[in-house]
Structure 1
């Protein structure tokens, strides 16, 4: 008995020693992993330290252990981490769950992961891993059920060894740079329930063998890939499928009727392809379908009547096709319908008059069709309607009064119809509406005296028959940015209260019967960029206060009865580029110098009492160029001398106070602080040391850029922001910089770190040896930038912007897309730079209206003329300008004469071709320095560019669509030969 006990004790001690040894190995492995993954101080791995406790590693954040203190789960998502995964990961051979998602981990995936034979969940998504997935991994991960490497930088072919994972249920390889075909052997992973291959660069045919995955519930294989052929008809046998997403992947042919057999399918996304033919009536068999998106294809015919069987539908997207006929009455009977978007087709007849009666409708967009009849009165029956877009149709009659009580509305776009009657007063008092566009109709009556829509930003009533006075209550629209009342029958005076609106950017009341003088209060509205009071009955002088509008770019006061002299103060309005004072009763001399050098004679014609060499009218002595009469010139000179003395004294006092303040700031300024966003092998002193005159490589409105050589031999770009307060005194700024530091995409310049003290902010970027696209394209080396490189740069820059718009979290609008902000590395790969900073930095050290300015001259979208608020379509316009630069080799402005930019020049040049064709159009503008380019490819890029620079933002594609168009192979008709 004693010998048995001794044996048991010996065995127990051996097991304990082995367990202790294994747990010690786990501790060592975790500490080595921490060193490699480089958790920043305060990042969440601070507690990963050795302590006296034997099993202290089980208390590490993100670590779970079993009863033997072996690590079974490691979950360190969102830390963030910036290093690599070391081979020691293979020592944690009891791991069941390995989750490292949403960090900035780089390098290759270590082969040692194959040692994790107990692993069931592997999630390393949203990092920056590179290279291919080691085929040998599959040999060890036989127990894995979830394999998720989404959104990294993996390249090469899709790994085929994964077929060995017989228990695999969830496989997500999307968001990488895999190429080639989808391996047909994936059909052998019979346990698969989720397959995500979206967001890669795959090609070839979609293997029909995937239809053998009988347990598959979700299939995502679109976006960025360009497959040949269409949807395999065999997919109709995927009986367990719930979601089928094949959007944006170059699919051709017809939609297989066999898909109607997928009885469990609730989501069918086939948008942004080249699918043609009729919508199969057999899709009515999708009795569980909730979301249907067939938009942006070449579908024809009518909406099948059999779709009345799809009672679960909540979303119908059929826009941008060639559909015709009526919108069937059964659409209004769908009990759960929330979104109906069928714009850009050829639908006719009336909308179903009971549409919205289900009480669920949130968004309806039927614009750009041929619909007629009255607007259905019950669209907002459930008080859920948010977006109502009926523009560019033939709707008749008045706006239903019920819409004036729809408190959920945010956007109302009814322009370009045949609507009449009085506008319901309730529309001007809705609590959430931001956009109210009713222009180009036949509305009559007066505007209500009570207006209180505090969220309303855009109000356009142009080209109607509205009468009465402009109500002062418009001043209650505190967020109003655009007010367009032109081409109506308004009378009375301009209410001065309107100019108390701090956000107002554009006001147009031209072509009315407005009388009275221009209110002096106009000068108080500092955010105005465009003012048009032309074609009215205004009288009196032009107020000098107008010169206080520092960002005013357009001023049109023509065809009124204005008198007096033109204010000299307009000389200092540096932003004013369009001035029209023609056909008034102005007198005296036209001021010279300053901004008046920009204007031509058409700005002043039709004023008989004006004199100027510009008008070929000689000024008499009494018409003093400075605006003073001869009788008062002596006294005026005395006054000027006194004023100059006072200004000098005031300047000296101000300078003394500023010097005192500066010295105080210098004394109080704290030491520099470095905030890294990845592993940096240099110190803050190394960065500050580079701020020398000889290191400057660029200057702009936002700051000065220095080239810095770090001790490890790596070059960086250091951007010193000007006119900004410290990040430490602006928590919003710091938060935005942290967000930018996490952005990771191969076509976006990486923000390495952030250096600041109380006075200065320094942003540290990776250095791009070949500078900016603008400098290279328009410099002496532009001829060396040939077509293949230009085309690749266009695609890469588009992918970077697409990431910001669609895949980044939070989504970012760049707001200053231009060729000088597209940087090129040593291989001429494009990287978008200065992304989002115009937006994120707006609060520090700038006035509210000035901080809203975005963009560079020549790249700014047309809508900027009437609002300082830009969106992602403004970025698309700017990118279109960049594409035109790549095609023509010309700068966006400065080469085409006054007031003409590259877009207008291209439009004018191509419109003058006697026998227009795609080839003739392109050849008229293509860069003569190019040689050996494929004409078909240039034509395709030109067409994409012209879509991007469409006048109306709604007609421009999204950046996701742009990437799709650029990466699709162009057509190759036989007559288009290489030049």
Structure 2
């Protein structure tokens, strides 16, 4: 470009800068006009950065006086003044510009569902015409300045749901006499609910749920005569119970007080709320009978009283609840008969009564209303036959009747219920043939018929579209194993053990790409093991024991690279043990006992792991230590292999010498390269105000400051000049140059996250070669180091339960509070850090993904997870999702309960999950273990004085999290709710202390 043009261009840029400066000065001293509104909007756009294609792309200045009125999300009055600014779901980043206070004609300000950060802009107090203010679903933090409410006297809607605001609930809200909708939920407000909120008489909606509130629920809220919806549960821990005065809230339609530690009885006065359509009181400690007066809730559609300590029977008066669609009473102590009128409720869709003490049979007409979608009555004492009308409306999705005393045949009609997605009938006394239609239902992902008395054969035609789990174990089923099982392309678990199957194993089954576990033990299966077993690369467990199999063990079985358990015991197998098995590094359990195997037991490799019991009962097997013949090669292939091995050793020795020479020559160059690297410019990117410089951070990268090393990098402790301690993680395998694959943008997203149970990422320092992440420092280190170290005995019950709850809340935020959600990918006790008060903070969230995307191939352990924490489905999907995080968190809970490490303490490659299951299984051989017996068998002996009830709850949550099928695991939000109760309920008594 010619110099004259360059000079002209520079003059133009300078002129533009002077103009913007001049306009900014004018804004501070002029009366706002439509022109001012345009400039303010451009200021707002600058502060709120959006991605390309976002809703702000058309915010471009033009010659038109009212061009800003055509901006997306902007509406104007007849004078071209902005009256509405509604920009949601973009998403936007950055902050709200303080100039927004100059839009003094603004009536509607909606900036919800973005990623805005920063504190609440005090300048909003100048928007005296504002009626609607919605900043929900962002990442804003700090206190809400009470001074703003002095100018917002016209405000009717104030919604800041799901941010990171903290401090006490603002009392000055009572000045807003026109306020109808107030939603402060999903934040970190603490303290008590101000009793003066009753003065906001215009209030129709009050949402305080999802905070950390305490104290008693103020009875004064009952004076809000216009209130229609009240949400005050979840994460808060109130004292006392439900104020009986709430029965006077005559306009109330929605009352949600779930999961907030309520005690006492349910007030009978609630039965006076004639307009109430939803009553949620689940996950509390409510006791006593269900008040018969609730039958007065004639408009009620949804009733959830689950997870409490309620006793007695379902009130007869509930027959009057004709509008009811959902009835959840599970996990209580209710008993008696399930009333027959339940089947007559015309709109009932969901009936969940599991884990109670109900007896007798199900109502014979249940489902005849044609609306039923979910029925779960597991773990009661119910008997009788399955009602024939459950799927009359062709809408039934979930049928769970397990662990009861049901008997008789399963109705054929259910086999034609195309809407079913999950069927669990195990642990009953059903008999007859399983209706063949069950195996062809298009939406079913789980069929569980184990531990019954089913007979007959399986159908020859099987085509269930998405079936992932099929368990038929411990029945009396006969006939061949159908080859048509190969049509179940999504099958992950096939459990046919303890039946009377005969015939050969269909080779087609091993074409199932996702099949992870196959158990056909204790049948009458004959024939050879198909060589096609090598096709099923996803197998982790194979159990063909106690059958009549013959022939040799296929050498191709060694191609199953992730197989961990192989049980071929108690068959008629012959020939030699394939020497190839010694290269199966994932195989930790091998049982070939009681066959007709011969020849030597191979040495070395994985055979060093197996016990002698793996080979007992084979009289023709010999060990090289005792039989000279075993010292000789058994065939020419092995002899050739030995010669080849000698040649390979020579090559390896020469290679090692060459490598050592190379490293010696490279050492000097490496030292020089380090010096050059340190001389390059570092850049500090802060995510909040930091009172130190980049040089202060780099200065801490010394050997004596190292406090941890892992697959993702090295962690240093840094002491800043202002006295602040930080943790500095030096990442390996990452680059911050031009080709960083979005690493910087991803890290900046993590830096905006604010949650009390997530380690704060304060900023990051980078140059062309290295990334340094700066975290808040956690004085008590990681949970794993403390729990499994010499001080583990000092971490007692209440601390462990608190850590479990806090870590769950942190993960819950990543999964449910971030948009898009963040999957941790490496949940483990070493990534749960403890501050000076031993409060838990989740660390290294999301980093596995970002390291992988930046090309850190050596960090695959971080991407895939850590050994002992990896979910089973990773073996065949090679990817992780949020349910993989849930599994890993379940392992952490088992660590807290047992005090044991996830691996390395149980022998033979058994991890903590398998050990717990094995321990419970051994108990069941004596008698059916109670929850208490199961817990006492595995609990950390260093623990004392804990509540057995609380420990059982933690154990049950852990076992649900480590369910083999990912679909069976709860979400992290459900985990938080299940753990939300106190760790030491007052009843029943502590059995361990007696």
Question: TM-score under structure 1 normalisation?
Answer: 0.81
| Matching residue within 235, 251, 258 for 1:224 | 235
Q: Which of these residues, 239, 260, 264, is aligned with residue 249 of structure 1?
A: 260
How far, CA to CA, are the matches of 1:475 and 1:722 in structure 2? 44
8 Å CA contact 1:749–1:765 kept in 2: the answer is no
Measured in 1, the distance between the counterparts of 2:123 and 2:580 equals 74
**CA–CA separation in structure 2 for the residues paired with 1:23 and 1:140:** 22
How far residue 107 of structure 1 moved from its aligned partner, in angstroms, is 2.6
* Deviates further, 106-115 or 806-815: 806-815
1:22 to 15, 33, 50: 33
Separation in structure 1 between the aligned mates of residue 770 and residue 492 of structure 2, nearest angstrom: 32
Q: What are the residue-to-residue correspondences of 1:171-182 with 2, within 5 Å?
A: 171-182=182-193
Matches of residues 348-427 of structure 1 in structure 2 within 5 Å? 348-427=359-438
1:107 aligns to what SS in structure 2?
coil
Look up the SS of the partner of 1:288 in the other structure.
Answer: coil
Q: 1:201 to 1:59 in 2, by over 3 A?
A: same
Looking at structure 2, the residues matched to 66 and 837 of structure 1 have their Cα atoms a distance apart, in angstroms, of: 48
Closer, same or farther in 2 for the Cα pair 1:851/1:415, shift >3 Å? Answer: farther
Q: Does 1:603 align with 2:614?
A: yes
Do residues 773 (structure 1) and 783 (structure 2) align?
yes
CA distance in 1, matches of 2:918, 2:514: 33
Corresponding residue for 1:628?
634
Query: SS of the residue aligned with 1:119?
Result: coil
- Residue 447 of structure 2 is matched in structure 1 by 436
Distance 1:937 1:864, change over 3 A: farther
Q: What residue number does 1:150 align with?
A: 161
Name the residue aligned to 2:357: 346
**Helix, strand or coil: the match of 1:569?**
helix
Using the alignment, how far apart are the partners of 2:416 and 2:765 within structure 1? 52
- For the Cα contact (< 8 Å) 2:688–2:763, is it kept in 1? no
Where do 1:45-124 residues align within 5 Å?
45-124=56-135
Could you tell me how far apart the structure 2 residues matched to 1:751 and 1:460 are?
A: 46
**Rounded Cα–Cα distance in structure 1 between residues aligned with 2:607 and 2:116:** 57
Shift of 1:941: 6.7
1:329 counterpart = 2:333: no
Structure 2: distance between partners of 1:715 and 1:43 = 36
Cα distance, 1:750 vs. partner? 6.9
Query: Offset of 1:823 from its aligned partner?
Result: 4.1
Unaligned runs of 5+ residues in structure 2 are 1-28, 654-682, 924-929
Corresponding position of 1:948: 957
CA distance in 2, matches of 1:28, 1:584: 86
3-state SS in 2 of match to 1:443: strand
Task: Identify the residue that residue 513 of structure 1 maps to in structure 2.
Answer: 524
SS in 2 for 1:209: helix
Structure 2 CA distance, aligned partners of 1:632 and 1:623? Answer: 15
CA distance 1:297–1:839, change in 2 (3 Å): farther
From 547, 553, 568, the equivalent of 2:558 is 547
| Cα displacement (A) at 1:839 | 9.2
Question: Structure 1 residues 780 and 378 mapped into 2: Cα distance closer, same or farther (>3 Å)?
Answer: closer
- Is the CA contact 2:120–2:140 (under 8 Å) kept in the aligned structure 1? yes
Segment of structure 1 superposing worse, 866-875 or 510-519 = 866-875
Deviation of the 1:437 alpha carbon: 0.5
| 1:803 to 2:817 alignment | no
Which deviates more, 747-756 or 159-168? 747-756
* One of 830, 854, 859 as aligned partner of 1:820: 830
Matched residue of 1:253: which SS?
strand
Deviation by residue 1:754-810 (Cα, 9 ceiling, x = unmatched)? 999xxx999978576666433465568879989887665443212112334555556
Q: Runs of 5+ in structure 1 lacking a partner?
A: 1-17, 649-673
Instruction: Quote the Cα distance in structure 2 between the aligned partners of 1:556 and 1:761.
Output: 49
Q: Answer yes or no: is the 8 Å Cα contact 1:877–1:948 preserved in 2.
A: no
Q: Is the 8 A contact 2:166 2:187 kept in 1?
A: yes
CA distance in 1, matches of 2:875, 2:337: 38
Q: CA deviation at 1:257?
A: 1.6
How far has the Cα of 1:60 moved from its partner?
Answer: 3.4
Query: Contact 1:878/1:949 (CA < 8 Å) preserved in 2?
Result: no
Q: 1:432 to 1:64 in 2, by over 3 A?
A: same
Taking a change above 3 Å as real, the CA distance of residues 455 and 765 of structure 1, as seen in their structure-2 partners, is farther
Q: Distance in 2 between matches of 1:761 and 1:488?
A: 60
Do 1:950 and 1:956's aligned partners in 2 also have CA atoms closer than 8 Å? no
Contact 1:944/1:966 (<8 A) preserved: no
Deviates more, 1:525-534 or 1:259-268: 259-268
- Tell me, yes or no, if structure 1 residue 891 matches structure 2 residue 898: no
Per the alignment, in what secondary structure is the counterpart of residue 308 of structure 1?
Answer: helix
* Residue 507 (structure 1) shift: 0.4
Measure, in 1, the Cα distance between the counterparts of 2:645 and 2:888: 47
Deviation at 1:434, TM superposition (A): 0.6
Retained in 1: the 8 A contact 2:469–2:492? Answer: yes
Distance 1:427 1:853 in 2: 38
Alpha-carbon shift at residue 718 of structure 1 (Å): 6.4
Contact 1:179 1:202 in 2 (8 A): yes
Q: CA RMSD in A?
A: 4.9
SS in 1 for 2:230: strand
- Indicate the larger mover: 299-308 or 420-429: 299-308
SS of aligned partner of 1:276: strand
Cα displacement (A) at 1:816 = 4.2
